[in-house]
Structure 1
Amino acid sequence: MPHLQSPLTRKLSAFVALSGTDLDLLARFHQRRRTFLSGHALIHEGQTNSAAFILAEGWACSYKMLPDGGRQIVDFQLPGDFLGLRSILFRTSDHGVEAITRIEASEVLASDILDAFARAPRLATAVLWAASRDEAMVVEHLVNLGRRSADERMGHFLLELGARLKLVGVGDQTGFDCPLTQYHLADALGLSAVHVNRVLRQLREEGLLTFQKGRVTFDDFARLRERVGFDTSYLDQEGPLLR
């Protein structure tokens, strides 16, 4: 069945060996599947009574808007990720979510999640792991913005995206297809678009990575990891801990 190989199933299975009951409940999460075009805002900052979504295909981003119209991208969402999970638990959404590409996502209500948690504690544990992993990535992004140089920031972030995509069967150690523009990277990494271009050129000239024509290629994966201090332990995706 399609849900057995869905990105969400693959992702949660990295932590918990899911039972038949768990898989049946996960299948219910995909009943209200919808398609959104690039640029569509699925969730608005300040919105009340929001739904959450599970991303099945495509890329999205979560962001905060500043009073002067500037935007800080908090993270990019990939297949298997929840979109706006906090939005169904908080009274008011604290961030916006926008489709970067054409996406397919399943709408999930608070009642769906709470019912699944009541029926399947192991599944609840897996979703808690996914939320905790997202928090660990935000911590790493704070270190990126506050302490890493621009080239370290870029290399670390692209390696993280590659590791996340590999988990759901989309990318591998050689690289991944990437729809992000230099403006997306600028808004996520606290750089100007001009600086992004300069940093990417520097990394390419050093033979570490190339980002051209919508694809990130790791030209020297091991040396890039060492150069930017990338350690995958915070992603916690080396295999199920609970069986």
Structure 2
Amino acid sequence: MPQHLIDKLERFTRLSDEDRQVLKALARKVRLIEAGVDIIQEGDRPETVNLFLDGWACRYKQLEDGRRQIVAFFVPGDLCDIHIYVLREMDHAIAAITPVRLATVPREILLDTMDRHPRITRALWWESLVNAAIQREWTVNIGRRTALERLAHLFCELFLRLRAVGLAEGSTCPFPLTQLELADATGLTNVHVNRTLKEMRNAGLILLKSRQLTVPDLAALQKAALFNPNYLHLEREGAHLSANA
């Protein structure tokens, strides 16, 4: 059941019971992917849209010599590009970081859903625009922020994204990322990430333990990251479209 997607879209607009049932019906065909396995590879022809139900994944580009840049993380509730099937072939790869359960949505079903349900369509447009905003913020992160600011910003973003879909409890959320994955996402070396994480722990900004992230003081972490959450657009900007509004 794509409850996390429903929770996410309702950060934009309140859905009707019919909308929720339609979204639940998208998860008819489910795939299980082992950790470390590519879900789709560069050069593949995309035929379906992937909806992440459980687990974490990443979007990445890899150079010929093996160096990798992670350009996005997927968490439960995320859709992998609602119009990806327009492309002839993938220009990047997507890999499972943890075991992943995802729904594969055929283009015909998604297009029919969007034709028949305008509120869902606008919510999916919002989801696409937020993804583009996140990509812009990642560019700023790598291009202009310091090592500590980069990591702190990523932690703030992931914490808020997980909280928005009901996957944070208080100040703690799941966090299965390794130091190498953090390095590949922030343009830092593994050694630099290790040193910066120690600095953040010593400052009381974060606690990483047992694949969990705890943020004792979110405001302090946001200040350290120069973090402005407005790019995540989580304040129900589509309230005027809400069911029974």
Q: TM-score range by the shorter chain?
A: over 0.9
Q: Which amino acid aligns with 2:194?
A: N
| Superimposed CA distance per residue, residues 118-150 of structure 1 (whole angstroms, 9 cap, x where no aligned partner) | 101111110110010000000000000000000
Structure 1 gap segments, 5+ residues each: none
Listed one character per residue, the Cα deviations across residues 155-200 of structure 1 (whole Å, up to 9, x for unaligned) are 0100100000000000145131211100100100001111110000
Q: What is residue 229 of structure 1 aligned with on the other side?
A: 226
Whether the aligned pair in 1 keeps the contact of 2:47 and 2:107 (CA below 8 Å) is no
Paired AA for residue 9 in structure 1: I
Alignment length, in residue pairs? 240
State the one-letter code of the partner of 1:221.
L
Aligned to 1:93: 90
- Worse-superposed segment, 215-224 or 151-160: 215-224
Alpha-carbon distance between aligned partners in 1 of 2:80 and 2:37, rounded to the nearest angstrom: 13
- Work out whether 1:104 is the aligned partner of 2:112: no
Q: Distance in 1 between matches of 2:16 and 2:217?
A: 39
Unaligned runs of 5+ in 2: none
1:113 aligns with 2:110: yes
Who is 2:119 aligned against? Answer: 122
Distance 1:52 1:65 in 2: 22
| Partner amino acid, structure 1, of 2:166 | G
Q: Is the 8 A contact 1:176 1:216 kept in 2?
A: yes
TM-score (norm 1): 0.94
Deviation at 1:235, TM superposition (A): 0.5
Task: Report deviation, 1:49.
Answer: 3.8
2-side partners of 1:26 and 1:226: how far apart? 37
Q: In structure 1, what is the Cα distance between the partners aligned to 2:210 and 2:21? A: 40
Instruction: Report the secondary structure of 1:191's partner residue.
Output: coil
| Aligned partner of 2:199 among 202, 215, 219 | 202
| 1:42 counterpart = 2:39 | yes
- Would the aligned equivalents of 1:63 and 1:97 in 2 still touch at CA under 8 Å? yes
Distance (Å, rounded) in 1 between the aligned partners of 2:83 and 2:196: 34
The equivalences for 1:201-220 within 5 A come to: 201-220=198-217
What's the counterpart of residue 66 of structure 1?
63
By relative contact order (CA 8 Å, sep 6+), the higher-ranking structure is 2
> RMSD in angstroms over aligned alpha carbons?
1.5
Per the normalisation by structure 2, the TM-score is 0.93
Letter paired with 1:24: Q
Identity of aligned residues (%): 37
| Partner of residue 140 from structure 1, selected from 119, 137, 142 | 137
Mapped to 2, the partners of 1:187 and 1:51 lie a distance apart of 27
Q: Once superposed, which parts of structure 1, at least 4 consecutive aligned residues long, lie more than 4 Å away?
A: none
| SS, match of residue 182 in structure 2 | helix
What is the CA distance between 1:83 and its match in structure 2?
Answer: 2.5
1:123 counterpart SS class: helix
